[in-house]
Chain A
Amino acid sequence: MGQGGQGGQGGKYGLTDHIVSPRVYFAIYAILLVGTYLTIQIAFFDLGPLNTIAALTIAVLKAVLVVLFFMHVRHSTPLTWAVVAGSVFWLAILLTLTMTDYLTRGWRTYG
């Protein structure tokens, strides 16, 4: 049974090479719980636009931890990283280009 971050047998691609210690999983779990607690607490203070930024920042950090550690992306191939990055990037295209319409509708046009 593997302990810690020892590599197993097999090829150079990813996951069975890395059996993560339960301690790492529990540590990440604790951070996720803290993040959840924080995000609820912050919501009850009036920080203006920072409320949304704080909530989204915490959500993104939690998601990154789940992706890197629970989903093993930290020890995955560059191709897996590319797929994860691609999904975020394409979602960003959808959100950004759509919002160029809504954010600029109120702007003055010619004449």
Chain B
Amino acid sequence: MPDAAIPHAGHPSGLTVSAPDHHLAGRSALAHQFDSLEQQREASTLGIWVFLLTEVLFFGGLFVTYLVYRSSYPGAFVAASHELLIWAGGVNTVVLITSSLTMALAVRAAQTGNRRQLVWLLVATMALGTMFLGIKAFEYYTEWVEHHVPGLNYRFEGEYFRTAQIFFSLYFVMTGLHAAHMIVGLGIMAVLLVLSLRGRFTPEYYNPIEAGGLYWHFVDIVWIFLFPLLYLIGRHAH
């Protein structure tokens, strides 16, 4: 909310401050609408955080749907959740948490100007993200084979036939939307990788790495909630 401080420092006389020379790889890092790299970084950081806020509300609609139906059909949710591959979900959780570690270290590498480390850590993050998607794809294939895909070939034995469909629908929409975000994340990482290889980032300018990192951690956090909510319902009854 409102900052108490006078906005950004650096204008003692009210005249426009000409930007210091920030040329990197032949291109200035300072965009024309900003007066300083610091103002640009603050704007970039606030921008990505506001974007993540919109993503919280975006996934939030699915979480409220989950809340409504889990409280309405607890039995069906237990029965359907048991059909999911808990080991796949667990491994994927570890994979994503590890990728968050490599991403945080990548941001640090950018902060400290260590280009080699930055590149390798981005590669590691992408590799882990790809592994996540591979396991997910395998799970989806299994679910298709077992006829748990609503709208395609859905069959479910027992008393919860009707309402288990809602669980599976939620499972596919929630993990599908999450996977779509992962794919976009991989695209973002690829772009960051290319720019890093070109030496675009320095300790004074690494906003895109930071922003990409924040996005990646957010996608990890969504999975941190999806895993117990989808895979671990009433497992003791198994």
Contacts and interface: CB of A to CB of B under 8 A. Distances in A.
> A and B from one assembly?
yes
Interface of A: 1-2, 8, 10-11, 13-16, 19-20, 22, 25-26, 29, 32-33, 36, 39-40, 43-47, 51, 55-56, 58-59, 62-63, 66-67, 69-71, 76-77, 79-80, 82-84, 86-88, 90-91, 94-95, 98-99, 102-103
B64 A59 contact: no
A77 B2 CA distance: 12
Nearest to A82: B1
Given A11-B9, A87-B52, 16 more contacts: A8-B111, A14-B45, A16-B41, A29-B101, A36-B94, A39-B232, A40-B232, A44-B238, A45-B236, A59-B228, A76-B45, A83-B50, A86-B53, A91-B57, A95-B60, A95-B63
Interface of B: 1, 3, 8-9, 38, 41-42, 45-46, 49-50, 52-53, 56-57, 60-61, 63-64, 67-68, 71-72, 86, 90, 93-94, 97-98, 100-101, 103-105, 108, 111-114, 203, 210, 213-214, 217-218, 220-221, 224-225, 227-229, 232, 234-238
B149 to A, nearest CB: 25
B228 A2 contact: no
29 contacts: A2-B111, A8-B111, A11-B9, A15-B41, A20-B108, A25-B105, A29-B97, A51-B234, A55-B232, A59-B228, A63-B221, A67-B217, A67-B221, A70-B213, A71-B214, A71-B217, A71-B218, A79-B3, A80-B45, A88-B56, A90-B56, A94-B61, A98-B68, A99-B68, A99-B71, A102-B68, A102-B71, A102-B72, A103-B71
A66 B224 contact: yes
B216 to A, nearest CB: 9
A70 B52 contact: no
A1 B228 contact: no
Contacts of B105: 22, 25
A70 B104 contact: yes
Contacts of A59: 224-225, 227-229
Contacts of A39: 227-228, 232
A32 to B, nearest CB: 5
Nearest to A26: B101
B221 A66 contact: yes
A25 B98 CA distance: 11
Q: Which of B3, B50, B64, B224 has the most C-beta atoms of chain A within 10 angstroms of its own C-beta?
A: B224
Contact of B57 (A56, A82, A94): A94
A98 B60 CA distance: 12
A17 B203 CA distance: 11
Contacts of B52: 83, 87
Contacts of A44: 235-236, 238
A90 B214 CA distance: 20
B235 A99 contact: no
B42 to A, nearest CB: 5
